[in-house]
C-alpha cells in the first residue's frame, strides 16, 4: 500500500503542537506557582516586620534566622494565620524557608480557634508524644537538623549524635524541599512514654503549604529510618474524650472529615505539667494573684479555677501537702465527674 507522507507530516505536526502546548502549560503552572510563592514570602516578610513585638528572630551560624512567637501570643490569644507559622521556622535573608514549622494545632476546648466536634463524629486519631520537637529538612542537597528553628543548640547536637546521619539523609532526601518532623522522647518525659524517635508529620518548605500526616507516608519513613511507629486509629469523639479522662499520656491529635487537626490533652497530663512547671514554692503565690488567668497558659485555666474555688482548704496546707492534694484530689475528681467552679463547667469540652 502507498504511504501517505502528507498525513504522516500532519500527524507529526499535531504531535509537536500537543507537546508544545503541554510544555507551555507546565511552564505556565510553574511560573504561577513561583509567583504565588514569592507573593506569600513578601507578605510574610512584611508581616514579621510589623509584628516584631510578638516574634523573635535569632540568627544561626549559617546566616539564617529562627523565628518563634513570644509567650504573649499564647497568653493573650493573638493567633492569626501568619502567627500559626512562627513556631520555629528557619528562613534565609530573603525569607525563603530552610526548615518549615509544624503549623499551630489548637487545643480543643481551651483555644477559641479549635474546631467544634460532636460526640458522634468519627475521628482520625494518633498519639501525641511528650517529647522534644525535632525537624530534618532538605536544603540544596543537605539534611538540616533544627530544634524550634535553631540549627545549633544542645538538642540538635545530641540528636545528631543518636541518629545515623548518612542513613537519614539517604531516606529523607527522597522528599526534596520538604521538612519532616519528629518527636524525640527522652528519659525526661513526664508521661514516661517509651524513649525513642517518632515520625509525626512532613511539610513542603513553602509558606502556603499544609502539613501532611498521612499514615502510609509516615509509616514508610519510620520503617526506612528504623524508628518507632506512632499509633493511629479511628473512633468517635465521645470515645476519645472518655479515653482522655482515663489515660496517663500527654493526649491525642485528631480530626474529622470536616475539620482541621486539633489536640486533646488528658486531664492527668495537665495536672502533672502544671505541678512540674511551678513546683511547691511558687504555686501559692501565683494562685493568689487575681490576674493569674491572664498570665498563664490557657490549658491550665480549668485547674486554677478548681483550686481557687477551694482556696481556704488549699491555704490550710503546707506546700508539700498542697502538691500531693492537687495530684490526688483534682486528678481523681476529674475522672468521670462533672466538677463545677461556680457556673464554670470543669470539663472544658462539655
Distance CA 294, CA 221 (A): 41
Residue pair 129/183 in contact by the 8 Å Cβ criterion = yes
Beta strands in 237-279 (DSSP E): 251-255, 262-265
- pLDDT at res. 158: 96
Q: What is the pLDDT along the chain (350 residues), one digit of tens a residue?
A: 455 566 556 665 666 656 555 565 555 555 445 445 556 888 999 999 999 999 999 999 999 999 999 988 987 889 999 999 999 999 999 999 999 988 899 988 778 888 889 999 999 999 999 899 999 999 999 999 999 999 999 999 999 999 999 999 999 999 999 999 999 998 766 777 889 999 999 999 999 888 888 888 999 999 999 998 888 999 999 999 988 877 888 899 999 988 789 999 887 787 777 666 555 556 666 676 767 666 666 777 777 788 888 888 877 877 667 767 776 776 545 543 333 333 223 333 33
**CA 105, 107, 113, 116: dihedral to nearest 10 degrees?**
110
Residue pair 205/137 in contact by the 8 Å Cβ criterion = yes
| pTM beyond 0.75, yes or no | no
- pLDDT at res. 119: 93
What are the cell numbers at 34? 513561583
**Order of strands across the sheet that contains 262-265:** 232-236, 122-128, 251-255, 262-265
Distance CA 112, CA 102 (A): 19
3-class state of residue 183 by DSSP: strand
**Is the alpha carbon torsion for 239, 113, 330, 267 positive or negative?**
positive
Residue pair 205/192 in contact by the 8 Å Cβ criterion = no
Amino acid at each position: 500500500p502507498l504511504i501517505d507522507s502528507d498525513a504522516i507530516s500532519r500527524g507529526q505536526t499535531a504531535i509537536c503542537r500537543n507537546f508544545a502546548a503541554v510544555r507551555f502549560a507546565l511552564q505556565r503552572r510553574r511560573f504561577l506557582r513561583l509567583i504565588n510563592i514569592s507573593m506569600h514570602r513578601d507578605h510574610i516578610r512584611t508581616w514579621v516586620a510589623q509584628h516584631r513585638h510578638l516574634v523573635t528572630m535569632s540568627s544561626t551560624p549559617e546566616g539564617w534566622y529562627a523565628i518563634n512567637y513570644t509567650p504573649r501570643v499564647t497568653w493573650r490569644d493573638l493567633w492569626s494565620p501568619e502567627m500559626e507559622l512562627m513556631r520555629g521556622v528557619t528562613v534565609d535573608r530573603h525569607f525563603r524557608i530552610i526548615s518549615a514549622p509544624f503549623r499551630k494545632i489548637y487545643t480543643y476546648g481551651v483555644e477559641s480557634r479549635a474546631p467544634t466536634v460532636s460526640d458522634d463524629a468519627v475521628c482520625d486519631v494518633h498519639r501525641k508524644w511528650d517529647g522534644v520537637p525535632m525537624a530534618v529538612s532538605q536544603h540544596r542537597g543537605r539534611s538540616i537538623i533544627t530544634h524550634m528553628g535553631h540549627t545549633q543548640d544542645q538538642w540538635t547536637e545530641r540528636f545528631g549524635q543518636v541518629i545515623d546521619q548518612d542513613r537519614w539523609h539517604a531516606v529523607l532526601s527522597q522528599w526534596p524541599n520538604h521538612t519532616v518532623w519528629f518527636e524525640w522522647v527522652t528519659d525526661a518525659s513526664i508521661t514516661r512514654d517509651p524513649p525513642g524517635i517518632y515520625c509525626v508529620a512532613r511539610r513542603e518548605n513553602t509558606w502556603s503549604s499544609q502539613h501532611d500526616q498521612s499514615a502510609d507516608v509516615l509509616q514508610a519513613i519510620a520503617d526506612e529510618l528504623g524508628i518507632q511507629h506512632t499509633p493511629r486509629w479511628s473512633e468517635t469523639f465521645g470515645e476519645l474524650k472518655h479515653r482522655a479522662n482515663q489515660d496517663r499520656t500527654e493526649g491525642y491529635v485528631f480530626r474529622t472529615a470536616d475539620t482541621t487537626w486539633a489536640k486533646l490533652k488528658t486531664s492527668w497530663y495537665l495536672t502533672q505539667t502544671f505541678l512540674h512547671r511551678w513546683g511547691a514554692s511558687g504555686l501559692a503565690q501565683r494562685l493568689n494573684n487575681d490576674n493569674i488567668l491572664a498570665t498563664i497558659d490557657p490549658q491550665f485555666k480549668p485547674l486554677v479555677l478548681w483550686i481557687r474555688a477551694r482556696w481556704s482548704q488549699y491555704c490550710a496546707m503546707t506546700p508539700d501537702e498542697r502538691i500531693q492534694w492537687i495530684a490526688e484530689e483534682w486528678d481523681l475528681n476529674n475522672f468521670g465527674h462533672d466538677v463545677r467552679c461556680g457556673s464554670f463547667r470543669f470539663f472544658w469540652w462539655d
